[in-house]
Structure 1
């Protein structure tokens, strides 16, 4: 059998975290999704397929590498082209890990044929940025008034959009005040003019709704309504803003920020301008219902009044009845009070007798005797314990006296120390001739000088430092 020796440079298992396969895949997925939340990527479609789930699965590749990709059916439904093998695309998506197989892939949110251009990319980037800042959140949308007193249309005064809006508005509410604020709706100066018009209407404060209107066109034609400054002006407007830009399939940044998005300028007029004939009909209906309701209430109140009038009794009869009731209540009250006083006296007498039978004076004598016995027992026990402690103390004192070095000196022994170092002399060879010595006795001490040293011939167990006088 081959012996396997552990290598000293490998880490011990007990000091390392051991990942499970699922745990490792989850960790990798978390890192990838945090590092690459949304990225733009381009490549060529290969192995494109749509199973029964409706989601599209394919491989995105270039000249040197490839990666798995998926786009869900909700996004597929919004595509304006048909993806197929060999088609080069550009899209935005996020990197994720499919944990059961441990493979990573791109989950696309949007794709388009490569070459459509940077405007769409810029559109998506600005859309994502403003969405992250909360400019599209529904909680910031302002409600539109049911019956606006004035509507201002920010648009080109010569375009078809303003004519369509005015035509539909006058058809629905013929004398509704409309104001046209002329601006450029495309070109380099258009964003600034749109922002200036929105801010000017807010400072003026004489309109209830602002409508941004423009006819359809290419993404380049509509680009003024994808400008960030226009989006922020719409968001900052205190007056509700309606975006009516392009055709039904066209979307701009202004559509997402506005308080209401209309598919076309004509549709915007249909949505925000109430039909005057319908309002008149509703008012007539409400007027008739209100009249009927008031008439019915009056009839009910008349019946209630007649009923109450017939039930009214002369105050004198009421006073007589009240006097009789007062006498009756007073008689019953006095009887109840007398019964209550009698009952409380009986209860008081019973409790006095009960307290007398339970008086603590009867138990004081017994408790005093018991206290005396306990006190005597405690005193005897304490004296016994003190006697035991005294005997133990005397025994230990005798032992300490027996072990006291001074007691040994009292029996005729001595301790010799050198001067001036005062080191104990235990061997004659450790001193020299003429050296001063201090000899400690049982009572007092001596100072001597060495005349001669003699080697020891005493049994090794004997202590050379103590000598018999």
Structure 2
């Protein structure tokens, strides 16, 4: 039985992968091309397509290699790549595994510098509206640089020469190498925490772009932007430019120039004070001359030449007012005296005793008239009352019964006619001294003749 000649896809792919790995020319290849479909994974890996005008190859750069990049790979960028070619088993495709990458035609550091500069400018970190003004007379100067070096010596000597009143506080930092950027950020934080630092100088001496690269790091740029203390950037020589220069509140070409910007010149201050003194003297001299001229003019004025004429109208007016006051006083006194005499006469005429006697007589007359009226009304009311009593007695049925009459009731009602009675009916008869019951045995109607005779 012959052996099965067919291979599985995995076996074939594995064989091809071993062939790639065994080829020494594919282990360390140098390729240049254009980046396309660049995808930076959150894990830090970078996936892209490397192409030219005739072909393309899938590429990957893992995080361990990508962390060493100084720039950010972008679409359409021409790059120089070192890596190895192998087969990705899952898809069966060969791809380029990148170990290093640099821009084609421009340095990696320069490209990284331009990329970060563009990004921060777009965010507005370079805008003039965020720049803080430097204090005119600072009391404490903070310096962030290497603890030993030409930069700190130049800054200290310049400040001591120009403005010895200022206190210098050094916040040492590493200014070169991989640890430089975190060290500078920490020094900025220490300066803010220290308190009472009026202005801060950040810088170092000259060097290559690699030596100055810490001042191009994004963390340093953001720390400078966020600092509440005005910052002067003094990195390298006059021709050197860093990201820190753009973010800082002011840029100085050298550390010495930064010290000159941070503090005023003692000679300039003296000259400024002398100028101010001369200006004040001239101003006061001019003011004194002006006021002296005004005084002379005032002294020669008409009112001061003849001061009595100035208050003469007021004297005459006061004399007139005194006369009017005296006349008014006499008139008021005479009127008051006349009124007093009139009231005195009225009081003597309308004496209280006299009024009391008159009112007493009037009251007696009123009492007498009231008594007569009451007695007359009582007599009339008594006669009317007696007349009504006699009338009531005449109409009282009890008085009629006293003369031999009685009243017949049936079931509580007065019997006015024999027609309302029947033989056998029971009636009540009311007598003056009581009531009796009686039964009707016979009823006799009254004759009409008798009625006519009675009439």
How high is the TM-score relative to the length of structure 2? Answer: 0.45
Largest Rg, 1 or 2: 2
